[in-house]
Amino acid sequence: MQSFLLEFANLLLRWLHVIAAIAWIGESIYFVMLDNGLKKPKAAEDRDKGVFGEMWAVHGGGFYHNQKYATAPAKLPDDLHWSFWKSYTTWLSGFALFVLLYMANPSFYLVNPSSSWEWAANLSGAEANILALAFLFGGWVVYNELCKRISPNMERDGLLSLAVAVLMVVVAYLSVQLFSGRAAFLLTGAVMATAMSANVFFWIIPGQRRMVAAMKAGETPNPLDGKRGKQRSVHNTYFTLPVVLLMISNHYSFAYNHDYAWVIMSLFIFAGALIRQFFVLMHSGKIQPAYPAAGTALIAVALWVAMPADPGAPAAGDGEGTSMAEVTTIIEERCVQCHAQSPSHASFSSAPAGVAYDSEDQIRRQMSQIKQVVESGYMPLGNMTNMTDEEREAIAAWRE
């Protein structure tokens, strides 16, 4: 019953999380489009008012006229629309989901028993939880320090971007050493997403509040607040595509159970940023296909890295191969506790990921998937059922 209720809560939270993220990212993409698509105002009176750019749009049966002021309008209205709840809701629901799914079951989902770092492979569940939190918040601290030290007055943007790119490769590399593949992808995405939300919470919104307060007091706002808000928003823009990819990666074990999972992750992060750059420029009327071409090339490299050695070939061991009866025995011993219509394992109320091995026929139909997850070491999850290397080889040598 408890595992069923947890599953149900998981479903509701995931729903909320995805909706909030759509709203947040949608608004963020909209404002980048608006900002880059502004035209010089046509009416002289608008220019005299201090309007620096405008956009006319038609949407949902109405006509909209957006105007951006170079500094501030002569009088600021009281009912400004602020954007922050979408960001905070996305982060809070995402974090709750992480707690519910990963931190409630750390020895399944966080610990990487095949880590090349022995101490990481032997972490207890509680230690893995602490490490995951330290990783998540540590990522933000390092990113924030990089921004503050390299670019205290919002200069040297290029150098800062380079440093953030290197940081992401380091985060990707560390994540796969410290955590199981699926958690590594998720946590790398969560480090970026936490930086995005923290940018909004600690810098963008407080900066805007200071600017508004200064204007209301008839003072000139500190230009650094505006520039910093812009700098952090720009980072957020390039983070969006990679973050979404990392968040949806959890069904694709070919990517995260690979020896070079961190390389695959890094390639996708840079591909996402490059593809985003195409759209950022497109909104200001510049079409530069080199960006998506470079992004696609990186994805092609990721495909090449992730590709199994020879997917069609019969695996190791010559001669006989493993019989269906032997395979069924192994699966019954090592997998069926979890992978059955009604699992006997207490943590599951239904077949995890919808994968059930109740009959020989079901097992046969899922042959290639079974081989993949067993060979990569992803299953049995956390090797809870102590599958031996001989059994893994037997599965690899199974053919029809």
> b/e per residue, 105-114, with b = 16+ CB within 10 A?
bbbbbbbbee
Residues 6+ apart with CB under 8 A from 160: 146, 147, 150, 151, 231
**In the complex, least distance from residue 12 CB atom to ligand HEC, rounded to whole angstroms:** 18
- Scan residues 380-399 and list those touching ligand HEC (CB under 6 A): 380-381, 384-385, 387
Gyration radius (Cα) of the chain, Å: 25
Stretch that binds ligand HEC, among 43-51, 80-88, 121-129, 372-380 (CB under 6 A): 372-380
Query: Measured from the CB of residue 396, what is the shortest distance to ligand HEC in angstroms?
Result: 12
The nearest distance, CB 382 to ligand HEC, in angstroms, is: 7
User: Is the peptide bond preceding residue 380 cis, with omega within 30 degrees of 0?
Assistant: yes
Chosen residue from 47, 230, 345, 399 binding ligand HEC by CB under 6 A: 345
Report in angstroms how near the CB of residue 206 gets to ligand HEC at its nearest: 38
Distance CA 178, CA 118 (A): 10
Cα 296 from Cα 301, distance rounded (Å):
9
Minimal distance, residue 14 CB to ligand HEC, in Å: 12
Smallest distance from ligand HEC to CB 185, Å: 11
With binding defined as CB under 6 A, does residue 363 bind ligand HEC?
no
What CA–CA distance (Å, rounded) separates 200 from 196? Answer: 7
Under rule CB under 6 A, residue 374 binds ligand HEC: yes
Q: Single out the segment in contact with ligand HEC by CB under 6 A; choices: 163-171, 213-221, 235-243, 379-387.
A: 379-387
Whole-number minimum distance, CB 259 to ligand HEC, in Å?
A: 17
Contact 187, 132 (CB under 8 A): yes
Q: Please measure the distance between the N-terminal and C-terminal CA atoms of the chain and give it in whole angstroms.
A: 39
- Alpha carbon distances (Å) from 389 to 231, 259, 394: 51, 17, 9
Binding mask 153-182 for ligand HEC (x = CB under 6 A): -----------------------------x
Taking alpha carbons only, the member of 246, 350, 256, 255 closest to residue 10 is 350
Of 164 and 176, nearer to ligand HEC (C-beta) is: 176
Cα–Cα distance, 307 to 301 (Å, whole number): 10
The region of 65-73, 128-136, 218-226, 365-373 touching ligand HEC under the rule CB under 6 A is: 365-373
Q: Which is nearer to ligand HEC, 183 or 267 (CB)?
A: 183
* Residues with Cβ within 8 Å of residue 17, at least 6 apart in sequence: 90, 93, 94, 97
Tell me the residue nearest to ligand HEC as measured from the CB: 335
Stretch of 26-34, 95-103, 212-220, 248-256 contacting ligand HEC, by CB under 6 A: 248-256
Contact between 317 and 385 (Cβ < 8 Å): no
Query: Of 97, 389, 91, 22, which Cα lies nearest the Cα of 250?
Result: 97
CA distance 238 to 248: 17
CB of 96 to ligand HEC, least distance (A): 18
The answer to whether residue 373 forms part of the interface with ligand HEC (CB under 6 A) is: yes
Do 362 and 337 form a contact (C-beta atoms < 8 A)?
Answer: no
Of 256 and 291, CB closest to ligand HEC: 256
- Number of chain residues interacting with ligand HEC (CB under 6 A): 23
Instruction: Give the one residue of 250, 277, 322, 376 binding ligand HEC; rule: CB under 6 A.
Output: 250
- Binding ligand HEC (rule: CB under 6 A), the pick from 3, 337, 349, 350 is 337
If one asks whether residue 14 binds ligand HEC (CB under 6 A), the answer comes out as no
Using a 10 angstrom Cβ sphere, with 0-12 exposed, 13-18 middle and 19 or more buried, the burial of residue 193 is buried
Using the rule CB under 6 A, which residue among 251, 309, 311, 368 binds ligand HEC?
251
Smallest distance from ligand HEC to CB 380, Å: 3
Could you say whether residue 191 binds ligand HEC (CB under 6 A)?
Answer: no
Chain positions contacting ligand HEC, by CB under 6 A: 182, 250-251, 253, 334-335, 337-339, 345, 352-353, 355, 369-370, 373-374, 379-381, 384-385, 387
